[in-house]
Structure 1
Amino acid sequence: MGIHSWIQEYTERDWQTTTNGTVRFALIGLGWWTVDVAIPAIESSTLCETTVLVSGSKEKAERIADEHDIEHGLTYDEYHDGAATEAYDAVYIGTPNAYHFEHVKSAARFDKAALCEKPLEATAERAQRLVEAAEDADIPLMTAYRMQVDPAVRCARELIEDGFIGEPTHVYGNNSQSILEMIPDPDQWRLDPDVTGYGTSVMDLGIYTINTARFLLRRDPVAATAYMTSEHDGFEAVPDERAAFTLTFEGGVPLVSTASQNTQGDTQLKITGTEGQIDLDPAFHGKVILSLNRDDIHIDIENTSYSGDDEMEAVFDYFADRVLSGEEIYPDGHHALVDMETIHAIHEAAETGSSVDI
């Protein structure tokens, strides 16, 4: 089959195994992402329903629940005490990083499946405890890596597996934005190391490059080097206003990446091989554009029917599909632990100025 025919026949939801059933969600943490993205994504989904909202503010939970015709609005304490457990089957955790473990621990106690935002926790050690809590209770646990369900990324993955670029030789990635323009508050949680974890740019942005490269190559990093600096007053509590790091993947494939929370927005991921190249640009925010280059093949693919918001709808449906069918979850807790260990190694490498094994 020619490359053009292959792409035309590519199935967006190649992961779907069932169209029957509904998973009822309790959404924990009502920040802008949950309210503006997660709630509409579930409303548009085919296998999901929101039945419970959980917030630090009872008034906020009940107000947003009323606005979206959702049955229950709870406080965190009420959630942890087991209120309304009969009304939901799974939890979506969209709180700041350092609170993920406590919410998964309660989900495990109530025998509820857990879909947790990335990064999995604030540190690798806390993430390990989170995974163990889910395993001990035998509940499904997934990390919400939305790039893994994006059709362009999945198409790139299959092309790499089929040998379109030959043997992968190196990877370049970048993810940057201006967090203080997006959220003009220097006291926000992403700039608080007690809540965000190791830092801000690699934890929140660099993780996209790391995890998407892992997904595309089906290889894990084994060593890291890094440089970080923070110059702006708003970033004085975190080490990585700007970060550059290299990873060595299994098989000797190097990745070079940059990330910053205080610069012009830009996202790119480029995989180069012995015979060709695949470029995602933009890669991580909004509509992904896939560029293929090999010999006389030069194709730019933009899926006009698919937007960045559709990624979260697919994340929820993918998770629900796995919960309903019992099929294996690819980005499970152990998968996410590799990213946490990698980020830990990147920060250690920046502190020591040395290469760190992962």
Structure 2
Amino acid sequence: MKKVRYAVVGTGWISQIAFMPGLAQSGNSELTAIVSGNPANAGKLAEFYGIKHIYSYDRYDEMLASGLVDAVYIALPNSMHADYAIRAAKAGIHALVEKPLAIDAAECEAMIRAADEAGVYLMTAYRLHTEPGTLEAIDIIRRGEIGEPRLFSSVFSFPVGAGNHRLKAAHWGGPLQDIGVYCVNAVRHLFGSEPTEAIATIASAPGDPRFAEVEEMVSATLRFPGDRLGQFLVSFGGDDLDQYRVIGTKGQLEVSPGYRFDRAISLRLTRGGETVERIFPQYDQFSGQSAYFSDCILKGVRPEPDGGDGLADVVVMRAIEEAAKTGRSQKIALPPHPSHPTPDMARAFPTVERRLML
């Protein structure tokens, strides 16, 4: 079986704990190169996964031209996504880019344009688009099992330690960008439409040095066509909580956890006062994501969570930021997204135990 050859660009926490071990069991993908600024760690990871080729960041273009890879997985700070994805596209290499896709709409558009001009695929790394429980939640709503969905409500919170790159303003860090992006993407696809207006508030614990550059919490409300509302609260200072609920005219659906990749997803569907719970197996979401993107590359099919999907979320988050900054609601003008996750995108892989954390 032909396999898509990947280089992992950035060997931090998410690459070590999730992407590299997950890719190994995807079946249609393999790691053939590492691009890293830490030679010692890169060497250990290469030995552990049997990867022969290691490159520093200043040799990235050399790696792209080497003929060793078909695609890159970009897991760098947000401010570096556009540069590395555009350079990959110009070299004829597909790119799977961690979210948020880039730091503003202009960068996202440049990435999309570069990929389209080169005839390669750009996919935003929305692993939940291939997760069976999440796809079932979307399908429950599409089937009308809760009536017309009217309200989305979500809380996503966990404490982030001092010094984490997520707390750096220079990389467009903060809870909105790092975890709020999940809430924005979820409500857009659950409602099947784009928001038209945003209002927001930010807050931080007084004197907490972690939040010298970015806020601790963001609360946002998005208005959707049909006067539907999507509300979410994200925090880097609160305890661990991860869930969302969609309330319709005839019932409601609760998904918990809503976004994490390290635990099984539970769906609780309530109609007529009766609740039915379904707990899905814990799948390896990074295996599924890699397998899906590689399928798209091998079959010549544009991935559903493409650059346009990532662009839409960045536009919405920038509107939320401006609403919080000014205290005034912000209008959002986005074209309808041409596609949404569908059941046939589901990929069910068992969780991987073999990984190396440095």
- TM-score, length-scaled by structure 1: 0.88
Q: Distance in 2 between matches of 1:162 and 1:83?
A: 44
Alignment-derived partner of residue 277 in structure 2 = 300
Using a 3 Å threshold, how does the CA distance of structure 1 residues 83 and 164 change in structure 2: closer, same or farther? closer
Q: Per-residue CA shift, 1:100-158, capped at 9, x if unaligned?
A: 11111121121011100011012233222222222222210100111211111101111
* SS of equivalent to 1:224: strand
Rounded to whole Å, the distance in 2 between the matches of 1:131 and 1:187 is 32
Matched, 1:191 2:167: yes
Which sits farther off after the overlay, 263-272 or 83-92? 83-92
Show CA shifts across 1:32-60 (max 9, x none).
Answer: 11012111101121211111111013333
CA distance in structure 2 between the partners assigned to 1:128 and 1:229 by the alignment: 31
Match of 1:337 among 301, 306, 311: 311
- Aligned to 2:41, the other structure's residue is in SS state helix
1:337–1:149 CA distance, 2 compared to 1 (3 A) = same
Deviation digits for residues 178-224 of structure 1 (CA, Å, limit 9, x no counterpart): 011xxxxx3332111111x1x40110111111101212221111110
Which amino acid in 2 is paired with 1:200?
G
Post-superposition shift, 1:61?
Answer: 2.2
Contact 1:120 1:127 in 2 (8 A): yes
Matched residue SS, 1:271: strand
The Cα of 1:287 is off from its aligned counterpart by 1.8
User: How far apart in 2 are the matches of 1:194 and 1:83?
Assistant: 27
Match of residue 273, structure 1, among 240, 243, 248: 248
Normalization by structure 2: what TM-score? 0.88
Question: Equivalent residue for 1:245?
Answer: 220
Amino acid at match of 1:29: G
Equivalent residue of 2:240, what SS?
strand
In structure 1, the partner of 2:353 is none
Q: How far apart, CA to CA, are the structure 1 residues paired with 2:75 and 2:34? A: 11
Question: 8 Å contact 1:27–1:92 — kept in the other structure?
Answer: yes
8 Å Cα contact 1:82-1:110 kept in structure 2: no
Contact preservation (8 Å) 2:121, 2:302: no
CA distance in 1, matches of 2:209, 2:297: 45
Query: Relative to structure 1, is the Cα distance of residues 225 and 83 closer, same or farther in structure 2, using a 3 angstrom cutoff?
Result: closer
SS in 1 for 2:196: strand
Unaligned regions of 5+ residues in structure 1, if any? 1-19, 181-185
Q: Percent identity?
A: 32
1:118-133 matches, within 5 Å, as 118-133=99-114
Q: Does 1:86 align with 2:67?
A: yes
Structure 2: distance between partners of 1:348 and 1:147: 28
Counterpart of 1:295, as a letter, is: G
Q: How many residues align?
A: 328
Determine which of 56, 64, 68 is the counterpart of 2:45. Answer: 64
Query: Does residue 27 of structure 1 match 2:4?
Result: no
1:330: how far off? 1.1
Greater mean deviation of Cα atoms: 75-84 or 262-271: 75-84
Contact 1:55–1:76 (Cα < 8 Å) also in 2 = yes
1:237, distance to aligned residue in structure 2 (A)? 0.8
Equivalent residues in 2 for 1:82-231 (5 A)? 82=63, 85-180=66-161, 186-195=162-171, 197=172, 199-231=173-205
Aligned to 1:75: 56
Cα displacement (A) at 1:84 = 6.1
C-alpha separation in 2, matches of 1:167 and 1:340: 27
Q: How does 1:275-290 map to 2 (within 5 A)?
A: 275-285=250-260, 286-290=263-267
